[in-house]
Amino acid sequence: MKIFNALLLITCLIFPISAAAQDKDKKFALTAEFGPLMSVNGSYSAADNLRDIVNPGPVFGLGVNMKVNSHYFVELSVTNGWMNYKDSRKPVPGQSPSYAMTNVNFENIYYIYHGKLNIKLLAGPGIYYWRFTDDGPFSTIQTFEGEKLNKMSIGGDIGIGIERNLVGNYVLSLTSRYHYILSKDRFFFGEHFSEQGLLDIRVGMIYFLNKLF
């Protein structure tokens, strides 16, 4: 324990706190992010994984975070993304069925600072509303044997990112997250549709402010 505390103290001394996060008056921040979303693991059927069915697609996120101390922040975010079917897997030519997902995440963020460059480690639980749609991410939901192919599932994410202080209260960010969704349900989706693992890589802008309202 003493060794851990010593390493933690050395880390804090080596990496000085960045100006935007160190300011005691700036306790809140707004974030906006976008980037690609892709399936990395999880089966769709006995023969295919989900990544065999869909192409990478876009993801967009908005969040509010709050500083607990100079190194520890918490964030509540809402994200929407989708991945359209590959052309060879579309059941109806001319349509664009997709796997779409809307999720709310509560993230714990730990920062290591070095001048204007911030390194962040993050993890937290989430609620994921995922669905298979007929023609685009906002169209009707697919059905299988009379059941809609959608579900509200719990899950979580873990990730790493870097941030660069710009001017004033603005910070540019690049963050990658791995999402693990507990979507398996033998009763509704059969034996072979499993838990799903998704990866996103987002570019974002963070704006620090003194108070929310």
CATH of domain 2-209: 2.40.160.20
Answer whether 112's CB lies under 8 Å from 11's CB: yes
pLDDT band at 92, cuts 50/70/90? Answer: confident
Name which residue leads in pLDDT, 45 or 104.
Answer: 104
Q: Where are the alpha helices (DSSP H) in the chain?
A: 2-14, 19-22, 186-189
211 pLDDT more than 60 = yes
Cβ atoms within 10 A of the Cβ of 121, count? Answer: 13
Residues 129, 184: Cα–Cα separation, whole Å: 13
Domain ranges of the chain: 2-209
Which pTM value belongs to this model?
A: 0.84
Mean pLDDT of 70-89: 96
